[in-house]
Amino acid sequence: MTDAAYPPSALELDRRAYRKRQSTKSVFVALVSTLAFAAVVWLTVLNTPGWAGVQQSFFDPATFWSSLPRVWEGFLLNLQVLALSVVTVAIFATVIALLRTLRGAVFFPVRVLAAAYTDVFRGIPLIIVLYLIGFGVPALLNQRVPLILLGTAAITITYSAYVSEVIRAGIEAVHPSQRIAARAMGLGYAQTLRLVVLPQALRKMTPPLMNDFVAMQKDVGLVSIIGLVDAVRAAQIETSLSYNFTPYIVAALLFVLLAIPTIRLTDWYTARLQRREQMGSVV
């Protein structure tokens, strides 16, 4: 920082003046481009002949308020599915990831199965998994199963495949010398994993995990297809009653409001990690 004993040199003063001019210029450019963007939106969207109709059928305040309670009620179901899934995905994905990192010939079949699992379920669209679980499991058991459990199961199956890969990458990103140091002091395989590898891996995988969490927050809206009256299905019902699409906007708004804190938190955390790792550098 500035040293009080030394007044800045003429050279430094010149540099500071230049930087100040540059930042003033940047603010000005940002302002102009924002105005230009607003003008383009106004000209292309708000001035189109169909805008009045769209406004009425998608952004109708009366429908907004009348549909909100029902959509909100459905949204609470989404939150339940989400809360359940977070727990089951965390457990299941960790198990899959650990199975994939096991070494030794004995574990070959387990490794292959775990790898096949992640390949298959990262490949199948979530909506198909939902259909298969939602209609297949009750048929298999020949009895009714609470829809919320079926929805949670489908999301767990798909998301565990993604999340286990993030966890595995995190585990493998911990330098092997850390394992060696741990084993050298007599810690066993499981102790090394728990005390040395996983705590370090967790830091590395937090940003991608939070990303998957954001994706999961909105994908819980897909459980509507197995018949669960969640926010999306509630909005659909409201729309069919009012002949107005505003309820979808209500549902969308609720999902966005749910996602924003996580997204901001992810950004903040990633930025903090970056600051720590590149301390003292401008690039």
Is position 273 an interface residue for other proteins (rule: CB under 8 A)? no
199 binds other proteins (CB under 8 A): yes
Q: Are 216 and 82 in contact (CB under 8 A)?
A: yes
Please tell me whether residue 204 binds other proteins under the rule CB under 8 A: no
Residues 174-193, mask of contacts with other proteins (x by CB under 8 A): ---xx-xxxxxxxxx--x--
Reference 82, options 191, 220, 209; nearest CA is 220
Question: For other proteins, which is the closer residue by CB, 187 or 229?
Answer: 187
Task: Candidates 52-60, 195-203, 206-214, 236-244: pick the segment binding other proteins (CB under 8 A).
Answer: 195-203
Residues whose CB falls within 8 Å of the CB of residue 203, separated by 6 or more in sequence, listed in order: 273
Q: Applying CB under 8 A, does 270 fall inside the site for other proteins? A: no
Least spacing, CB of residue 181 vs other proteins, in Å:
4
Binding status of residue 22 toward other proteins by CB under 8 A: no
User: 236, 222 in Cβ contact below 8 A?
Assistant: no
Dihedral through CA 31, CA 34, CA 36, CA 41, nearest 10? -160
Do the beta carbons of residue 80 and residue 148 sit within 8 Å? Answer: yes
Smallest CA-to-CA distance from 224 within 215, 235, 216 is with 235
Among the residue ranges 131-139, 161-169, 194-202, 258-266, the one whose residues contact other proteins (CB under 8 A): 194-202
Q: Residues binding other proteins: what is the number (CB under 8 A)?
A: 17
Contacts of 57 (CB under 8 A, 6+ apart): 243, 244, 245, 246
Does residue 109 touch other proteins according to CB under 8 A? no
Q: Which is nearer to other proteins, 187 or 273 (CB)?
A: 187
Distance of alpha carbon 132 from alpha carbon 150, whole angstroms: 10
Q: Does 274 bind other proteins (CB under 8 A)?
A: no
Rule CB under 8 A: say whether 203 interacts with other proteins. Answer: yes
Binding part of the chain for other proteins, among 90-98, 110-118, 173-181, 215-223 by CB under 8 A, reads: 173-181
Contact 154, 129 (CB under 8 A): yes
- Catalog residues that contact other proteins under the rule CB under 8 A: 177-178, 180-188, 191, 195-196, 199-200, 203
